[in-house]
Amino acid sequence: MKKTLILCTMFSLAMFLPCWVAEAAFVVPTAEQVKAAAKNPALLAKLIKEANEEQAVETVLKVIAAVDALGLNPEAARARVGALLDEITKIKGAAAGSIIAKIIKKVNPRLLPVIFLGGRMPPPAPRYPRQ
């Protein structure tokens, strides 16, 4: 009986330990890291690489607030936010769409005009017969 209990416990730990370790990999960035990412969008990768979707959204919102606090002219601030969103698409791949959608809902609209497919032009619409 004791042997079975020990084996079951070890099996349970072996199954759930990797999940627990993976969740614990994200570390909330410091204020200095957030300010550095606001100045250099390429540093965002280090901040959100291990983050889940909600953690990534909150981190990027902090970085965008830091961009706003830099006092850049409106065009430069929009370009910086666009660069941050482009970095999200590089880092998160398929999950980037839902992350960006959540960010757009919470960001000051004056920072958003650049956000159109990550600052890129959309592909042309296909032509269908009889159109």
At 42-66, the pLDDT tens digits run: 999 999 999 999 999 999 999 999 9
Domain holding 37, by residue range, is: 26-111
Query: Is 14 inside any structural domain?
Result: no
Task: Report pLDDT digits (tens) over 21-48.
Answer: 545 588 999 999 999 999 999 999 999 9
Put simply, whether the predicted model's pTM sits higher than 0.75 gets the answer no
Query: Is 12 inside any structural domain?
Result: no
Helix pair angle (74-92, 53-69), 10° resolution: 160
Residue 42's pLDDT is: 92
Query: Is 47 inside any structural domain?
Result: yes
Query: Is 7 inside any structural domain?
Result: no
Query: Is 90 inside any structural domain?
Result: yes
Residue 61's pLDDT is: 94
Residue 13's pLDDT is: 60
Query: Of 21, 8, 90, which is closest to residue 49 (Cα–Cα)?
Result: 90
How far is the CA of 44 from the CAs of 37, 58, 82, 84, 129, in angstroms?
Answer: 5, 12, 13, 7, 45
pLDDT at 125 over 90: no
Domain total in the chain: 1
